[in-house]
Amino acid sequence: MTTPTVQPSTAAAAAHEALESGDPYAVMRRYRRATNFLAAAQVYLKSNALLREPLSADDIKPRLLGHWGAAPAINLVYAHLDRLVNERRARVLLVTGPGHGAAANLANHYLDGSLEEFYPDMTRDAAGVERFVRSFSWPGGFPSHLTPGTPGTIHEGGELGYALATSFGAAMDNPDLLVACIVGDGEAETGPTAGSWNSNRFLDPRTGGAVLPILDVNGYKISSATIAGTMSDDELLTLYRGLGWTPLLVSGDDDGVDARMAAAVDEAWELIGRIQGQARSGSTALKPAWPMIVLRTPKGWTGPKEIDGKKVEGSFRAHQVPAGDLKTNPAHLAIVEAWLRSYKPEELFEIDGSPASDIQEFVPEGDLRLGMLDDAIGGRVRRPMELPDASIVAVPVGQPGATDAGALDQVGAYLREVMVRSEDDRNFRIFCPDELESNKLGAVLEVTGRAHTWSDEADSRFTSDGRVVEVLAEHLCEGFLEGYLKTGRHALFPCYEAFIQIVDSQIAQYAKWLKVSNEIPWRLPLGSLNILLTSDAWRQDHNGYSHQNPGFINSLLTKKGTVLRITLPPDANTLTETVARCLRSTGYINLVIATKQPLPQWLSMDEAKAHADAGASIWRWASTDEGIDPDVVMAAAGMMPTNEILAAIDLLAADVPDLRARMVNVMDLMRLESRRSHPHALETEPFNALFTADKPVVFSFHGYPSAIHQLISARANPTRFHVRGYVEEGITTTPFDMLIRNGASRYQLAIEAIRRSGRAETHEGARAVDRYLLLMEEHRQFIVKHGHDSEDITSWRWHRD
């Protein structure tokens, strides 16, 4: 194919013709041609970006990566959002569900100049466009999916299903923001997206912004048809009406699609304005039917119609890279060259490589560009919360263990005050899967309601402006949370321990987001993602085996240490102090685990603060080694494990008094990690000051023992750690029997200490072991007869000075 003659006036003449045509969408269509061209060029080309020379195999990238099929629809949406910004001065945040459509987002960011604001070498000229096109899916360049390195982005889309929930989180308490969310029809098949359509129940039109979902129905996913693609227009419209939306249909692949899309976007904007205006004037509709758009365009629209006699445009073959063998197949190379030239790049870019003047004038200006919105870089707009000191709800502790208290009750009282202090700026929310009161955090409901715009306002449990969002879908809670955090706010996610793994992969994606964000200077720190796990494995009195799963700790330990904290406070004061520190922190995933039943309290608030500072410390008042040369170290991490290790030490002091035991409590689990793996890890000397260099350690742990073994694996002589924890033994039984079944009771811990310290061969040691084995058998018989733990267990108190 011969190269077209490129004259300096070609692009200018085409721009003038479009402006003079009287067609209100002529420039928009040219803009879309340019973004479609750049999106396709990014997938294929490493050079000759504007096709100023005949296309050769040498111009083709060695690896063709990316997804073409969704790009044209993304470009259509982007262009119409640009028009909305220009005409209405709207603040628009775009969340793109089809994550591998990044070539489209990047093309728009390049054309409007926002990419150059963050990457100065992405200049809008001949050299810049060459760098830009080459950088896509190139080592050191832009990945084929959206990442923290993509301007205007708060959602990576590494795993499909969460774009819509994230959008609602971004809109909450953000009254002037429109969040436009493109939902792919493949993504719409996921459970999280299916649940997310109900998010319209939780968005307050008075205090929140708006979410405009745009369902991209192109009919196909990677190799087959989508469910939405097989539904008729009537079926789709009926479905979304039934879910409480006002669906607007846009379809077609002709020049008239822009007029139809413009009409739908304008109608949506006006309906949003009416809903918000009515609410803000004091007369909220009980069930506001927010607008959404159902967009039907062909998969891979404007691409090759067919290749090798097989349909491409409008089929699954357009999903990724049509014709992937260009270096070895001249016929396919010619098809791709004809495709790229069909956009007539010589009419879209000046001879110096800059976009034509009409295209540059079409895009919004300044910070209203979709790639420049501050909300998409939440650290820019994040405001620290006014947090009370944890001491305002301190539990008085005199003699250790003499006072019982519910740690989560105390945290609930603390969070109530946090809610009061954040009321004016609405900078804090709790997202919880229908478990707030079950988790003993109901005190917050004294000062705010549960958010629900579809509930009768006469029901005092629900208020449209409530800042507690309860929905029995962990995916939605996590999506709301991420959108809220990524747009600069603060939040807490309480959840039953057994069910946090429902969102394990979702949190894994967030950990990757944080890790990459830390490497990008303009991604400023966000409020931490704070997870408070309750209803833990050790006290599932009626839910039994199904609710016993402490494995989320193990999952988090695989993540980058720079973004991770795992804290197991031993009592109420340490838990409250931990929650306060988590809410003050930035840039972390904070995992905190607590038992909700009342337990003995060990540390005063001042002692709790000092213990939180240390992360792990010797409890000298509980130790029998007089501070030097113990025979065994008795360590614990977690509320129930701390209770049991202290009870074991109590037993040993009475039955084997010459055994010298040191009590170490570990609150920050990452202190155990080697220094090369985590910034909080203890150096070798302070680690040995706690655990000694060579003595046996009996470790009572909240979760699976493998987690501790993983953490200490790089320490010297790790086999001296003997960990007791949850080992998948569970049933509906008593709390103490749960401990026995998993080998983690005070009796089994004491036996382990006797054996590891070499006292099992002594008369006192052997007698103690026999006694503890007998006590466990007597306890088993007791609970079978009476249905509850014996008073010897339930009334035990630490009594030594």
pLDDT digit string, tens, across residues 691-739: 999 999 999 999 999 999 999 999 999 999 999 999 999 888 899 999 9
Would you state the pLDDT for residue 100?
81
Model confidence at 5, pLDDT cuts 50, 70, 90, reads very low
**Together in a domain, 626 and 534:** no
CATH number of the domain to which 774 belongs: 3.40.50.920
Number of residues assigned to the chain: 801
With CA atoms as reference, report the closest residue to 318 among 334, 306, 330. 306
Whole-structure pTM value = 0.96
DSSP 3-state of 179: strand
Would you state the pLDDT for residue 1?
46
| CA dist., res. 658 & res. 660, Å (int) | 6
Would you state the pLDDT for residue 561?
86
- Residues 57-113: pLDDT tens digits? 999 999 999 899 999 999 999 999 999 999 999 999 999 998 688 999 999 999 999
**Together in a domain, 132 and 251:** yes
- The answer to whether 634 and 696 are in contact (CB under 8 A) is no
Over residues 190-196, the mean pLDDT reads 96
**Together in a domain, 391 and 370:** no
- Residues 115-140: pLDDT tens digits? 999 999 999 999 999 999 999 999 99
**Together in a domain, 436 and 321:** no
Q: How far is CA 695 from the centre of its chain?
A: 41
**Together in a domain, 189 and 328:** yes
**Of all helices (H) and strands (E), which one includes residue 12?**
helix 9-20
CATH number of the domain to which 564 belongs: 3.40.50.970
**Together in a domain, 221 and 330:** yes
Model confidence at 434, pLDDT cuts 50, 70, 90, reads confident
**Together in a domain, 652 and 684:** yes
> Which of 326, 347, 375 is at the close of a domain?
375
Mean residue pLDDT of the chain comes to: 94
**Of all helices (H) and strands (E), which one includes residue 710?**
helix 705-712
**Together in a domain, 123 and 53:** yes
Would you state the pLDDT for residue 276?
96
Model confidence at 473, pLDDT cuts 50, 70, 90, reads very high
| CA dist., res. 263 & res. 85, Å (int) | 15
Residue 280 belongs to some domain of the structure: yes
| CA dist., res. 285 & res. 742, Å (int) | 54
| CA dist., res. 482 & res. 626, Å (int) | 48
DSSP 3-state of 8: coil
Whole-number Cα distances in Å, 417 to 386, 529, 666, 761: 10, 20, 28, 56
| CA dist., res. 95 & res. 593, Å (int) | 32
Over residues 338-363, the mean pLDDT reads 97
Whole-number Cα distances in Å, 558 to 238, 508, 710: 44, 9, 10
Residue 301 belongs to some domain of the structure: yes
**Together in a domain, 630 and 592:** no
Residue 746 belongs to some domain of the structure: yes
Whole-number Cα distances in Å, 543 to 117, 536, 539, 782: 55, 11, 9, 21
Query: Token pair of 553, please?
Result: 């700790």
Over residues 652-669, the mean pLDDT reads 97
Would you state the pLDDT for residue 460?
59
- Residues 600-633: pLDDT tens digits? 999 999 999 999 999 999 999 999 998 889 999 9
**Together in a domain, 213 and 283:** yes
Residue 604 belongs to some domain of the structure: no
Residue 2 belongs to some domain of the structure: no
Our count of domains for the chain comes to 3
- Residues 507-546: pLDDT tens digits? 999 999 999 999 999 999 999 999 999 989 888 766 788 8
Query: Which residues are bridge partners to 216 per DSSP?
Result: 184, 295
| CA dist., res. 224 & res. 598, Å (int) | 54
* Domain with 478 in it: 385-599
Pairing of strands 616-618, 661-666: antiparallel
Would you state the pLDDT for residue 459?
61
> Which of 316, 343, 375 is at the close of a domain?
375
Residue 183 belongs to some domain of the structure: yes
The mean-pLDDT minimum among 224-238, 282-296, 320-334 falls in 282-296
**Of all helices (H) and strands (E), which one includes residue 246?**
strand 246-251
**Together in a domain, 461 and 559:** yes
> Which of 323, 351, 375 is at the close of a domain?
375
Residue 232 belongs to some domain of the structure: yes
Percent of the chain residues past pLDDT 70, beyond the cut: 97
Task: Flag whether pLDDT at 252 surpasses 60.
Answer: yes
| CA dist., res. 569 & res. 667, Å (int) | 5
Whole-number Cα distances in Å, 43 to 2, 101, 116: 22, 11, 20
Task: Flag whether pLDDT at 268 surpasses 60.
Answer: yes
**10 phi and psi, to 5 degrees?**
-60, -55
**Together in a domain, 338 and 404:** no
Query: Token pair of 520, please?
Result: 């990008």
| CA dist., res. 607 & res. 21, Å (int) | 77
Residue 380 belongs to some domain of the structure: no
| CA dist., res. 25 & res. 43, Å (int) | 27
Model confidence at 800, pLDDT cuts 50, 70, 90, reads low
Task: Flag whether pLDDT at 655 surpasses 70.
Answer: yes
